[in-house]
Copies of this chain bind each other. A is one copy, B any other.
């Protein structure tokens, strides 16, 4: 999906919500555990319930990998289901990959050829040649870690160099020589509040994937105030806050309610922004 198509989806559906599919078998409702593939059954119900309110889905590979082959089968089925039934939803493989060139090339092959997804999250520590192989695919996106939502983001990402430039700023600047706003987004955690101003000074146009609203405590209003652009420029993710909103047989309805709530808040923010 290209940038124009993504922006079109956002303004048509009045939402920039991304639903994170961090499906943990220990947290899904009891009655699903007798299904042949409980993870897929859960995902399918969540997707059907939330699709009207979001523009993107973000399966988190860690959760699928942790169940071995069974987990990866559930991942593949989820992807196929999304592609067949919701082809206008943007799919993000949340995988945080990144390695030397010939290895990153294999990861790019995995997510962009084997699974044919729209985008993958990539870690910047190993630099340009670890990111470039992902950028060589037409119509596909790298979502590069810049300033993450967790406590550990302070350990290295905020380190200032001699000129006062922080590591996440260097990542934002250098990587703009590798990709463009058409194939490169950044992860910026919602918990970083006013840092969005600093981010937008360096990357005024790039889309930002924003985790950390909800369970991690970030504020949607603050993210929009400092991070939204005329093209929206945001994909705000919620995982646990939506998919585990309910624990009973009505879990999908509870997820839909939570997603619709967020969509409604997002519609207000989109209306507020000048287009």
A binding-site residues for B, Cβ under 8 Å: 22, 24, 60, 62-63, 65-69, 72-73, 76, 94, 96-104, 106-107, 109-110, 113-115, 123-131, 145, 148-157, 159-162, 167, 170-171, 174, 211, 216
| Copies of the polypeptide in the assembly | 2
- A155–B128 CB distance below 8 A: yes
**Which of B72, B157, B170, B171 is the one whose CB lies under 8 Å from A72?**
B72
- B68–A76 CB distance below 8 A: yes
- B62–A103 CB distance below 8 A: yes
- A73–B66 CB distance below 8 A: no
**Which of B103, B114, B145, B151 is the one whose CB lies under 8 Å from A125?**
B145
* Complexed CA–CA distance, A124 and B152 (Å): 9
Contacts of A156 in B (CB 8 A): 124-125, 127, 167, 170-171, 174
Contacts of A110 in B (CB 8 A): 62, 65-66, 68
Contacts of A113 in B (CB 8 A): 66
Contacts of A170 in B (CB 8 A): 156, 159
- B150–A100 CB distance below 8 A: yes
- A127–B107 CB distance below 8 A: no
Q: Report A271 CB to chain B, min CB distance, Å.
A: 32
- A150–B130 CB distance below 8 A: yes
Given known A-B contacts A69-B69, A73-B69, A145-B125, A99 and B101 have beta carbons under 8 A apart? no
Q: Report A255 CB to chain B, min CB distance, Å.
A: 18
**Which of B22, B100, B128, B162 is the one whose CB lies under 8 Å from A160?**
B162
* A215 nearest CB neighbor, chain B only: B102
Q: List 23 A-B contacts (CB under 8 A).
A: A60-B103, A62-B104, A65-B110, A66-B114, A67-B114, A68-B76, A96-B99, A100-B150, A101-B150, A124-B156, A125-B145, A125-B156, A126-B157, A127-B152, A127-B153, A127-B157, A129-B152, A130-B152, A155-B174, A156-B167, A156-B170, A156-B174, A162-B162
Given known A-B contacts A125-B124, A159-B170, A63 and B106 have beta carbons under 8 A apart? yes
* A216 nearest CB neighbor, chain B only: B100
* Complexed CA–CA distance, A130 and B149 (Å): 11
* A68 nearest CB neighbor, chain B only: B114
